[in-house]
Structures are given as C-alpha cells and as structure tokens.
Structure 1
Amino acid sequence: MSYANYPSLKGRTVAITGGGSGIGAAMVGAFARQGARVHFIDVSEEDALQVQGSLATEGMNSCFHRCDLRDLDAVGTVFAGIIEDTGPIEVLVNNAGNDDRHQVDAVTPSYWEDRIAVNLRHQFFCAQLAAASMRTIGRGAILNMGSASWHVAVPNLSVYMTAKAGIEGLTRGLARDLGGHGIRVNCIVPGAVRTPRQTQLWQTPESEAKLLESQCFPERIEPEHVARMALFLASDDAARCSGREYFVDAGYFGA
C-alpha cells in the first residue's frame, strides 16, 4: 500500500509501544518509511526482531527495545536510553495492549490490576516521560490507542473496555495539561482490525461475515489503515488537532 508523504516526520524521533506485531508493527514500518528515527518497545523479542530485520532489508532503520511495560522502572530506563541516543522524543504512539477475553465471574483483583497495567497504566507513564522530553523543544505529538469495543459493548471484555474507555479520558486530560507546552494529544480508535492475532484467535468465516454486516463500509480494516491515521495525526498537517478521538472503524456499530 502507498502512503501520503509527510515531510515534517522526516528525521523526527518516534517511540512506539507494542511495535513488534499487528497494528504496532504497521506503525513502525509506516514511520520508518517516512524517514523518522523509530524506536519501538515490545515484550516479544522474536516478533520485534523480525520487524526490525524486515525493515532493514528495505534499507529502513528502526531500533527495538525489549521491555515489559508493566515494569515502570524498566520503562524509564528505555525512554532515557532513547533520548540519550537520538535526542528528545517528538512523537509517542501508545499502542501496546492485550484484548484477552474474560468472564466477569472469573476476574480476580490480581487479574484486574494486571490488565489495567497492560492496557492503561503504561499509557500515562509513557506519556509523562515523553512529555518531559517534548517540553524541552516546545512541541510534540502523543497518540493513545483506544478501541471501538467499549462503544459497542463487545462481550467478555469488561476489564479491557474499562481501560480503553479510560484512555479517551486520559487523552482529554493530557491534551489540556500539555497543550500550553506545544504538545498535541489525540486518541486513535480502531474498529475490528484484521491482525494475525485476531484472525487466529477470534475470527471464523461466520464471524467475519457478521462483522462486515455491522460496518457501514463492508471491507476489512487492515493495520495499515490505522497506521495512516497515526502518520497524519503525528505530522504538522494535524497542527490544530488535539484532545479528540479519531475512529478508523469503517463505521462499526456492532452486531
């Protein structure tokens, strides 16, 4: 697929969490092809090294950092290393998350805490670290990854949807608090994106047909479609976009 060219992204330092697979991997590739200096964080070393190696064969540079985002001390170390290596972070994409299904009666306090840490907590603390870096140059863009799931009440995802709903509130709060420092904060809200994980775990021919019927535009959403929105919102073309949610869901209204 071809992308629009955003000259303002060339040479910018971009940090992407969860960049080793799915939507995150598509974002790593998209920003790298814009000439950005891409650093990406993931817990899965095997997947991430494949992404890095694939881009290298295209002549594109990217830098993988292995880190469990639940470990906030390790997160701080990774961000400090990125800044030391390439200078202030100019774009942060808070993409990492996990949509494991769960029954309400099976949720324990420890499971709740772990899922909130995986899906919500790190977004705030990564934004905190990135914003401190961005303030030194008076500009920056933070993109938080939401989900259409809580807008349509997907079953067996109560804790995940709680986190994703919170991300939209987090986006509004950060946009207000950081705007005076030249930092824009937005939320991308994907619909049902056809990633390898979704295809392997959740999709069947029957559910695929039902999904397309629930969308205004009856075509599957690919990771690249979400990456295109990220490129725009991170670029200077979106200079007056902040504090909002941008849906990439083909008009998804659930079933």
Structure 2
Amino acid sequence: MQDKVAIITGAGGALGRATALRLGADGFAIGALGRASADLAETAAQLEAEGFPVRMLEVDLRDSDAIEAAVAGTERDFGPVGALINNAAIYPSTPFLEIPLAEYDDVVTVNQRGYFYAAQVAARGMVARRSGAIVNVGSITWHGGWSNLASYVSTKGAAVALTRALARELGEHGIRVNAVSPGAFPTKAEEIQGDAAEYSAHVIEHQALKRRGSDAELAAVVSFLVGPDSSFVTGQTINVDGGWIME
C-alpha cells in the first residue's frame, strides 16, 4: 500500500476493534469510525496505548455528510486514505412477518447505503492516486439464511454483490475490493441468540474446526486483503468461519 491510512467503520465493536489493532500493528494510521459510545472510546484508548496513530470519529452511517467529514478529517490528520473497512452493521432480530418497514429501512440505511457511500467517498481519492483497497464485511448468514434476521441477511448479501460490482469497475484504477464473511464469532451480537452455552455448542457442531474463532483471526484476513500479499486478489469473498460454509 502506498498510503498507510485506514478507516474502519464500526470500530467500537469486537471485530472492528481487533481489525483496528491489527492494522495499527501493520503500520496504518487508523480512522476509528462509529457511533459515539464507550466502546468506540475504548478502541481509541487501546490504539493510543499501543502507540498507534488514531483519530476517533463519532459518526452515524445514516448521516452521509458525517461520512464525508470523517474521510476528510482523517486525511487532514494522516494523509490519503489507502484502505477502507466497511464493518459497521445493525442486526435487529424480528420475525419476517412482523418486521416494520421503518426497521427494514433503518437496517438498509446503515448496512447497505452506509457501505455504498463510505466506499464511494473513499474511492474518489483512491482513483486519483490509482491505489487503494476496500474490504466489505459480510456474513455467512447470506449463504443459507437465518431466521428472524431477514433485513440483516439481505444487506449482507448486498455487501458481497457490491464488492463484486466495485471490484469490476474500480480495478482499472488500481483499486482492489474484497469481502470477508465472518462466521459466528463470540461478540455482543450473540445476545440475540439466547442461551450462550447452547448457541456456542450449536456453532461448534456446524463448524469443521471444533472451537470458536477469535476476533484476531478475522482481523488477520482483513490485514491480508489490504496488504501487499494480496496485490492480485480482487472481487473475492473469504469465509472466515471455521469451515461452517464451504463453497
């Protein structure tokens, strides 16, 4: 990468924080983007404690102006953004027949339009420099569907489709676009699944690898996708799920 500056959305979450710490260790200055929260502040504090350059960006992905300001602010502080990791997502658990249209619209705004617009804003600068990498975080749920998560699942499928469309269109400008689809990592998202021990057993039963994954293992794949070792990889989706989904 020519520009060692990365923006990570949803940086207050477990996977976002692990990715921020890994990319910081890789030598990136980090724009840690997320809704104002103690979790986002903790991510920034951990990066600072490690001596990694960080700008904490309190941004709601529903606000397109705030996305533009976050990218511009990061570039003022650190220089051109060379990597964008679209990670933030919301995941209300509601039976399909009961999902209010307002709830669906909200999920699409954050998980789909937010990814689209963050990529568009970041890619404008990348095109001018003919260099950059975008990683969209999907989910293995889009492969087989999960009950009570129709809004979330549909947006994660859209993230993979967006990845392929952008890889095709932006490749001529030297920009690579890939996706990672995490499996069931032990994060706060699992609270919607009910009993933690029972769900963990369910996950391990379905995985080829009979253990739970760690946040750092997902971050390592993102690190690969924004780093020089993946210089000829674009338009791909890597499942990081212990072998739950194989295709």
TM over 0.5: yes
User: 1:23 is matched with which residue: 15, 38, 46?
Assistant: 15
**Runs of 4+ that moved beyond 3 A:** 198-201
User: 1:194 is matched with which residue: 179, 186, 193?
Assistant: 186
User: 1:127 is matched with which residue: 119, 122, 134?
Assistant: 119
Distance in 1 (alpha carbons) for counterparts of 2:29 and 2:245? 37
Corresponding position of 1:45: 37
Distance in 1 (alpha carbons) for counterparts of 2:91 and 2:72? 29
Cα offset for 1:55?
2.4
Cα offset for 1:58?
2.4
Where structure 1 has 5 or more consecutive residues not aligned to the other structure, the ranges are: 1-7
Alpha-carbon displacement from aligned partner over 1:141-168 (angstroms, at most 9, x marks no partner): 0000000012122111111111001111
Matched length: 245
Corresponding position of 2:90: 98
Alpha-carbon displacement from aligned partner over 1:176-218 (angstroms, at most 9, x marks no partner): 11000000000101100112x0354435212211210100111
Distance in 1 (alpha carbons) for counterparts of 2:5 and 2:227? 12
Cα offset for 1:61?
2.4
Where structure 2 has 5 or more consecutive residues not aligned to the other structure, the ranges are: none
Cα offset for 1:19?
0.4
Q: Does 1:236 align with 2:228?
A: yes
The equivalences for 1:69-218 within 5 A come to 69-195=61-187, 197-202=188-193, 203-218=195-210
Cα offset for 1:17?
0.4
Cα offset for 1:105?
2.0
SS of structure 2 residue aligned to 1:136: helix
Would the aligned equivalents of 1:88 and 1:136 in 2 still touch at CA under 8 Å?
no
With structure 2 as the length reference, what TM-score do the two structures score?
Answer: 0.94
RMSD: 1.6
Distance in 2 (alpha carbons) for counterparts of 1:167 and 1:200? 23
Distance in 1 (alpha carbons) for counterparts of 2:96 and 2:172? 41
